Chain A
Amino acid sequence: MTTAPGADARGPAPLQILLPAIPASLAVVRSRLRTWLPTAAVNASTAADVLLAVGEAAANAVEHAVRGAARDVVLEVTARATDTGLALTVKDNGRWHAPPPMNARGQRGHGSRLMSALVDTVTITPTPGGTTVEMHKELHP
Chain B
Amino acid sequence: MTNSQFRMSAAEAEQPPVVTATGDIDLANVNEFQDVLASAAADSDAITVDLSDVTYCDSAAVRALFAVAATTKLGLIVPTTGPIMTLLSISGLDRVATVVTRD
Residues of A that sit less than 8 Å from B by CB: 23-24, 26-27, 30, 45, 48-49, 51-52, 55-56, 59, 62-63, 105-108, 110-111, 113-114, 117-118
Q: Which of A23, A48, A113 contacts B27 (CB 8 A)?
A: A23
A24-B28, A26-B27 are contacts. A56–B90 as well, Cβ < 8 Å?
Answer: no
Output the nearest chain A residue to B60 by Cβ-Cβ distance.
A59
Is A106 touching B92 in the complex (CB atoms < 8 A)?
Answer: yes
Could you say which residues of chain A place their CB within 8 Å of the CB of B62? Answer: 107
Is B59 touching A56 in the complex (CB atoms < 8 A)?
Answer: yes
Output the nearest chain A residue to B30 by Cβ-Cβ distance.
A23
B82 to chain A, nearest CB (A): 5
A27-B26, A59-B58 are contacts. A105–B96 as well, Cβ < 8 Å?
Answer: yes
Could you say which residues of chain A place their CB within 8 Å of the CB of B70? Answer: 105
Q: Which of A23, A59, A63, A114 contacts B87 (CB 8 A)?
A: A114
Residue among B28, B60, B63, B83 with max Cβ neighbours from chain A (10 Å): B83
Is B26 touching A55 in the complex (CB atoms < 8 A)?
Answer: yes
Measured in the bound complex, the distance between the Cα atoms of B56 and A105 in whole Å is 23
Residue among A55, A62, A108 with max Cβ neighbours from chain B (10 Å): A55
Interface of B is mostly: mixed
B32 to chain A, nearest CB (A): 12
Is B82 touching A114 in the complex (CB atoms < 8 A)?
Answer: no
Output the nearest chain B residue to A66 by Cβ-Cβ distance.
B27
A27-B24, A48-B83, A49-B83 are contacts. A59–B90 as well, Cβ < 8 Å?
Answer: no
Output the nearest chain A residue to B91 by Cβ-Cβ distance.
A110
A27-B24, A27-B26 are contacts. A107–B63 as well, Cβ < 8 Å?
Answer: yes
Is A56 touching B58 in the complex (CB atoms < 8 A)?
Answer: yes
* Interface membership of B46, Cβ < 8 A: no
Q: Which of B56, B59, B90 contacts A117 (CB 8 A)?
A: B90
A48-B82, A49-B83, A59-B58 are contacts. A114–B26 as well, Cβ < 8 Å?
Answer: no
